[in-house]
Amino acid sequence: MIELDNRLKTALADKLLAMGDDELILGHRDSEWCGHAPILEEDIAFANIALDEQGHAAIWYGLLSEVIGEDKETYPDRLAFLRPPSEFRNAPLMELPKGDWAFSMLRQYLFDVAELKCADWLVKSAYQPLADAAAKVQREEFYHLRHTQAWTRRLGLGTKESNQRMQAALDALWPYAIHYFEPLATDAPLAEAGIIPPALEWQVSWEAQVLPFLREANLKPPASFELVAVDRLRHSEHLAALLGEMQSVARLQPDASW
Amino acid sequence: MTDTQWPEYIVFHQESADRPHDYAGAVHAPDAELALINARDVFVRRPDCVSLWVVRADRVFARTAEELAVAPDWVDSVADDGEAEIWLVFQKLNHRGTHTHVGEVEAATPTGALKAALTACANPSAIVWWVVPTRAVTRSKPDDVAGMFEIAKRKMFRDQGEYHTVTAMRQIAEEKSRK
């Protein structure tokens, strides 16, 4: 197994934090549908997906704890519940409000393909613990994708209204989805060492699956768009509101044991 | 007013390869593919499933033993005209049990299938009979086992008893009373 020097260790810690934050924030957004989804079966299915994504956050945070020598049992909870918004490193795509059902479903679809492509690569990562963790994520993402793909197709090809809602969601989400693939400042040496996928290779594999699928679902990504004005370091106001709610119970008694 | 509900699908699950498919419950879905996905999400949170079948509820022909006993001569008038196909037969043997797959029969009509089932799968303890045309059934595929069912095996399920809430609350109350 590859030995991590200090530079790689710091870079990997940054990467795992960003990956964990992406899953946690998206998982929380998805969980906001619990009790509000359009039909009972979808309520259960989407809550299930939300829980899986939060489980993936726990996996990446746990790995991060090992890399930086923190306690694997308590550090992930501290990361999730006791950090201010300015210390979160999720992509802005994840913090956008849940919108309508089309918006949440399409965001989840775009993310599922990205996460699955990433996991497909990571299972042969030079850093074995990352490869092992990716194998767990891979199978769940395969199932999420089956669900979100089925819905994206049906809503895209469904009624005039469902297609319009999906197209509006795609117009709004696309710039954020593209932004999601921007590498962190510290990613390059990790990719060179064979620990994470090269950013461009990952994005290209995502586009190769997403573009033809969307076309078949009668949905068109916007031909031109404004670049996203926020990033993983400077968040929108939506993140503070999300964390305010998500962290409220934990912050009542930070030393409580659960 | 038109009915805006999605159709109902009956779900059967199989807990292991050596056991029959049992009735698990019902889901609503716009089509069979989503019915299968919904069935997995609603009924396979726990890891004991290797196969799922879904069938539109209106394709299930059901009769209780009581209904059949009211006019036992009905079997004599079954014509069963038409092209024969294969039907799955399910029985429920007691009020606490569930409908279990017990065999197949060949018939052209629901009543024909039921008549054939009463002989082929005869069981005096059966209290409910279901016959379902196989071509109306959508089944999970062997390829689905890894993606749909195996993932549940790695999940940790915590029983409520694992959370020592009452003990913790007592401790908090005791600490407070001491202060």
Please tell me the pTM assigned to this model: 0.89
Rounded to the nearest angstrom, the minimum Cα separation between B128 and chain A is 27
Q: How confident is the model at residue A2 (pLDDT cuts 50, 70, 90)?
A: confident
State the best of B44, B151, B163 to mutate against chain A, taking most chain A CBs within 10 Å. B151
Looking at the structure, give the CATH architecture of the domain made up of residues A6-252: Up-down Bundle (1.20)
Q: How confident is the model at residue B1 (pLDDT cuts 50, 70, 90)?
A: very low
Q: What is the ipTM of this complex?
A: 0.81
Tens of pLDDT, residue by residue over A5-22, are 999 999 999 999 999 999
**Angle formed at CA A80 by CA A12 and CA A189, multiple of 5 degrees:** 10
Find, among B63, B44, B54, the residue nearest to B12 by Cα: B54
Find, among A186, A234, A230, A231, the residue nearest to A86 by Cα: A234
Question: Residue B2 falls within a domain, yes or no?
Answer: no
Interval A203-207 mean pLDDT: 98
Token pair in block for residue A120:
């497909």
Domain extent, residue B59, equals 8-178
Q: Which long-range contacts (CB under 8 A, 24 or more apart) does A213-218 make?
A: A213/A149, A213/A152, A213/A153, A214/A152, A214/A156, A214/A170, A216/A153, A217/A152, A217/A153, A217/A155, A217/A156, A217/A157, A217/A166, A218/A156, A218/A157, A218/A163
Q: What pLDDT score was predicted for residue A89?
A: 98
Measured between beta carbons, the chain A residues lying within 8 angstroms of B34 are: 150, 154
Interval A158-185 mean pLDDT: 97
Give the nearest chain A residue to B154 (CA atoms).
Answer: A136
Measured between beta carbons, the chain A residues lying within 8 angstroms of B6 are: 39
Q: How confident is the model at residue B3 (pLDDT cuts 50, 70, 90)?
A: low
Give the separation between CA B164 and CA B168, rounded to whole angstroms: 6
Q: Is B67 on the interface with A (CB under 8 A)?
A: no
Q: What pLDDT score was predicted for residue A3?
A: 86
Find, among A99, A85, A136, the residue nearest to A115 by Cα: A136
CA B39 to chain CA mean position, Å: 10
Give the domain ranges of chain A.
Answer: 6-252
Give the separation between CA B50 and CA B15, rounded to whole angstroms: 6
Measured between beta carbons, the chain B residues lying within 8 angstroms of A139 are: 146-147, 150-151
Tens of pLDDT, residue by residue over B36-95, are 999 998 988 776 889 999 999 999 999 999 999 988 888 888 888 899 999 999 999 998
Tens of pLDDT, residue by residue over A51-103, are 999 999 999 999 999 999 999 999 999 999 999 999 999 999 999 999 999 99
* Number of domains into which chain B is organized: 1
Question: Residue B108 falls within a domain, yes or no?
Answer: yes
Q: A195 with A130: CB under 8 angstroms?
A: yes
Rounded to the nearest angstrom, the minimum Cα separation between B37 and chain A is 7
Q: How confident is the model at residue A248 (pLDDT cuts 50, 70, 90)?
A: very high
Tens of pLDDT, residue by residue over B150-161, are 877 777 667 777
Question: Residue B1 falls within a domain, yes or no?
Answer: no
The count of other CB atoms within 10 Å of the CB of residue A24 is 26
Q: How confident is the model at residue A258 (pLDDT cuts 50, 70, 90)?
A: low
